[in-house]
Structure 1
Amino acid sequence: MSNISVAVLGAGMVGVAAALALQKKGFQVTLLDRRAPGEETSYGNAGVIARSSLMPFNNPSLFGNLPTLLKNQSASFRYRPQFLLHNVGWATKFLANARASVFRETTTALDSLIRLSMSEHAQLLRASGAAHRMRDNGYLMAYRQAAALGGAALARERMAHFGVSTEVLERDHIRQLEPALNPIFERALWIKDTWSVDNPGAVVKAYAELFRKQGGQILQARLKTLEPLAGSRWRVVGDAGGAVEADRVVVALGPWSRNFMATLGVHVPMAYERGYHMHFAPPAACNISRPIYDTAGAYVMTPMEQGLRVSSGVELTDLDAPPNPLQLDLAEAAARQAIDMGERLEPTPWLGRRPTLPDSRPIIGAMPGKRNLWLAFGHQHIGFSTGPGTGAILAALMNGEAPPVDAAPFRAERFLKA
């Protein structure tokens, strides 16, 4: 066993998966976060592990949609003008990376990361005893108007290019697959090689428990900053005065990575795509068997252990701006047209934050100019899907090995300098 100690900061899917992958390589790993594993962003997603997630929001079709999006009235996208004014650099780069050449590079990189992650997920689900939570019956992108399917031509071309298995469904076939749905969808695209889980937070906890059983240490602490020590080691400092020393550190704090890296004098060009969800209690005869994305209603509904989860679109605003339930209210109204959802099960909506870099790819690799500091953040909407692949890449790089897929598209030097 290696005597090299690693502190992994962040206990979401990305951090837990990185801790497991490093542990497998023989590193002595401590996992730290302010909350227990799987209780932040990784808890509230739609639970989808999808090959189709290779399509970034900033793709070439974004330019044609900008006039509508900028009106700030869409259920799929809302923004706070002051946030964009304060983050003009990020917004400009985000638009620049929607051009075709970068889009092709991004989809290629994300496809490799997603395929690697699905293989890693399969192993971890079995090893952690969480395989019973996984469904392999795919994911439906539903269209209320048949003509709207034509607007997905670019996504379908990219999915076909990478061999993603899909099938176009007519209204009758949709009802055969999901009889609880009202007949409001004329077409659907069935993404067949997609998995989903009934409780993403519980999956992260199962992975974390596997890490602990294998000798890993999990500490709960509110993290403040890092201090360099002799020999290129680090001290992780908490705001209550506690500290952990380690030979190497991995920052996997998701949307909180930007503020944490700022304590080291590093500016991370990150924005926060916030989103909301609510659970509902549909009648037993009115549930669905897989996630469904209503493209016109701009929500995803997923059958979960806690109830039917309805997740909203993107809210572009500050990390800790006050909650704004408008998008979720619009999503609920649209979802009630599609299915009998029953009553809300929580008094207030859940709010999560998705960390997005200008090219919609995560950073996975070494921090330039800071020895033994490694980064794994910026996974936008797909951290739950791509955490295990991220861990596999990072562990190989930190162990001096060739990564299982090309890691160059994820290098920190895209945005961060020494």
Structure 2
Amino acid sequence: MQAITIIGAGIVGMCTAVALQQRGLSVQVIDEREPGTGTSFGNAGLISVDSCVPIALPGMIKSVPKWLLDPKSPLSVKPSYLPFAASWLLRWVKSGASESKALKQGRALRELHKDAPLKYRELLGSEIFDQSIRITGQLHVWEQVQKSPTDLLGERIRAQNGVTPRELMGPEIFDLIPEMDRSIRRAEFYEKNGHVTNPYLLVQRLFKIFTDNGGQFLRQKVVGISRQPDSNTYRIMTSASDITVRQLVICSGAWSKKVLSGLGVSLPLETERGYHVSFDRSALDFKIPVLHKERAFGVTPMVDNIRVAGFVEIAGLDAAPKMQREEVLINHAKRLFPSLDLSLKKNFWLGFRPSTPDSLPILGRLDAMPNLYFGFGHGHTGITGAPKSAEILANMITGAPNTIDVTPYDIKRF
């Protein structure tokens, strides 16, 4: 069987490994961490089938100074890191400079997300899918009734992609989730969306399928990669070995830029640091994820915890966590759900979203690097975009046609 090596054992890497095995290929995965214990461990766990609005939108730049001055705002940039992030931030602003760009990005996001439950079922099988994923819908909420210009643009992008949520006002909202505070005055219900019962367990279940099918896992840190042009192979130096491989897939999330540095591949990839606070499952009784759109955080009911996740912090991979974020998230959650039992708080966590300026992942390859494939940059929607991304990569590697236009995800767009 043809052998493929994947660097990265998060949700994208493990989905890709299983997808390649389903096409008859032998697969090896390398990661310094246990599968699912990186960024995939602590995200909000949302399966956002109807998510098709990019992060950067026209007019958003006007809000950035206000956000940067407010310690409770959804966006912050560490001052000492600004010189390193400035180029990416400028690209981010430019990517959302026009409605036409946002509409194009929206179409590409829709194609990547719309079949997520179906693609997960194909990878997991029906029994494990039912253990791992709940399609219960998601509720997006606002305290203000009036819609902002970005809200209205988001509506146009969703409408173009056939996404029409059910709008709720007043008592209708609390019929759905009685525990929510009455300061919420407007909501949208996305019935096709859902969540995973636990992101770590989802990756672990994919990992078991992978190993049961003969997949090999090498738990070592990748310290460098070089290309052997005479043989079109790649040399991977790890913390404990020196490996030569013919076909290589990079699914290293926020670390992908560092992993690829030895090959001279330039990438507009930045780390959007995000936080979560978790509570015991008995701290609050509700069944549907809630996203507070004005305060940019979400609350997800998982099988073993309630997870409150949010923030975009631009500070790189090495800065210490900002511990004050814990209190802000707790206060946000308590304001939204007054009955939340704060005495049942469990954990505080920091993770690293791998983000591109246009909210689209990097999928594919460079002509100058034969047999090297990219699969990272999913930003806020890695759990949703992973299975379709895995299908795209598996088709590229095996020469099978893709069913959608994959050029929006090509690295050459940068």
Return the offset for 1:347.
6.4
Counterpart of 2:335, as a letter, is Q
In the alignment, the residues of structure 2 paired with residue 318 and residue 149 of structure 1 have an alpha-carbon distance, to the nearest angstrom, of: 31
Q: CA deviation at 1:38?
A: 0.9
- Alignment partner, residue 233 of structure 1: 233
Residue 331 in structure 1 maps to residue 334 in structure 2 = no
Is the 2:138–2:189 contact (alpha carbons within 8 Å) kept by the matching residues of 1?
Answer: yes
Measure, in 1, the Cα distance between the counterparts of 2:281 and 2:38: 26
CA deviations 1:147-190 (Å, max 9, x no partner) are: 25775222122112211241111221111111222322111111
* Distance change (3 Å), C-alpha of 1:80 and 1:344: farther
- Following TM superposition, by how much is the alpha carbon of 1:72 offset from its aligned partner in structure 2, in angstroms? 4.6
Q: 2:312 aligns with which of 302, 311, 314?
A: 314
Q: Distance in 2 between matches of 1:180 and 1:97?
A: 39
- What is the alpha-carbon distance in structure 2 between the residues aligned to residue 24 and residue 196 of structure 1? 25
Q: Residues 344, 363 of structure 1: CA spacing in aligned structure 2 closer, same or farther, 3 A cutoff?
A: farther
Residue 351 of structure 2 corresponds to: 352
Deviation string for 1:202-227 (max 9, x for gaps)? 01111111111122112211111223
Larger CA deviation: 184-193 vs 253-262: 184-193
Q: Distance in 1 between matches of 2:70 and 2:290?
A: 25
The within-5 A match list for 1:225-374 is: 225-229=224-228, 230-240=230-240, 242-281=241-280, 283=282, 286-339=284-337, 340-343=339-342, 349-374=348-373
Partner of residue 43, structure 2: 45
Letter paired with 1:327: R
Give, in whole Å, the separation in 1 of the partners of 2:371 and 2:127.
29
Question: Which has the higher mean CA deviation after the structures are superposed, 65-74 or 231-240?
Answer: 65-74
> For 1:280 and 1:115, how far apart are their aligned partners in 2?
30
The aligned residue for residue 391 of structure 1 is 390
1:213 paired to 2:235: no
Offset at 1:146? 1.6
Match of 1:155 in 2: 154
Which residues of 2 match residues 133-144 of structure 1 at below 5 A?
133-144=132-143
Give the partner amino acid of 1:264: L
Deviates more, 1:34-43 or 1:175-184: 175-184
RMSD, aligned α-carbons: 2.0
Deviation of residue 17 (structure 1)?
0.9
TM-score by length of 1: 0.93
Task: Report the secondary structure of 1:341's partner residue.
Answer: coil
* Aligned residue in 1 for 2:84: 86
1:56 CA drift (Å)? 1.6
In the TM superposition, 1:15-34 aligns within 5 A as 15-34=13-32
Note the C-alpha offset of 1:332: 1.3
After superposition, residues 79-158 of structure 1 pair within 5 angstroms as 79-99=77-97, 100-126=99-125, 129-148=128-147, 152-158=151-157
Cα distance change of structure 1 residues 390 and 248 upon mapping to structure 2, 3 Å threshold = same
Q: Alpha carbons of 1:309 and 1:191: their partners in 2 closer, same or farther (altered >3 Å)?
A: same
CA distance in 2, matches of 1:169, 1:15: 38
**Alpha-carbon deviations, 1:1-39, whole Å to 9, x = none?**
xx3211000011111111111112222110111111111
Contact 2:13–2:251 (8 Å) recurs in 1: yes
Name the stretch that deviates more: 300-309 or 117-126.
Answer: 117-126
d(CA) in 1 for partners of 2:49, 2:160 = 12
**How far off is 1:53 after superposition?**
2.4
Q: 2 CA distance for matches of 1:179 and 1:249?
A: 50
Alpha-carbon separation, structure 2, partners of 1:146 and 1:282: 31
Q: Percent identity?
A: 29
Q: After TM superposition, give the deviation of residue 265 of structure 1 in Å.
A: 2.2
| TM-score, normalised by the number of residues in structure 2 | 0.94
Instruction: Give me the whole-angstrom Cα distance separating, in 1, the residues matched to 2:330 and 2:170.
Output: 22
**Is the 2:165–2:190 Cα contact (8 Å) retained in structure 1?**
yes
Determine the C-alpha separation between the residues in 1 that align with 2:305 and 2:347: 15
Q: Is the 8 A contact 1:282 1:343 kept in 2?
A: no
The one-letter amino acid paired with 2:398 is N
Instruction: Report if aligned partners of 1:281, 1:343 keep a CA contact under 8 Å in 2.
Output: no
Classify the secondary structure of the residue corresponding to 1:6. Answer: strand
Question: Contact 1:277–1:312 (CA<8 Å) still a contact in 2?
Answer: yes
Distance (Å, rounded) in 1 between the aligned partners of 2:149 and 2:248? 46
Measure, in 1, the Cα distance between the counterparts of 2:354 and 2:26: 28
Find the aligned partners of 1:27 and 1:344 in 2 and give their Cα distance: 49
| Other structure's SS at 1:146 match | coil
- Mark the runs of 5 or more structure 1 residues left unpaired by the alignment: none
Say whether the 8 Å CA contact 1:234–1:245 is kept in structure 2.
yes
List gaps (5 residues or longer) in structure 2: none
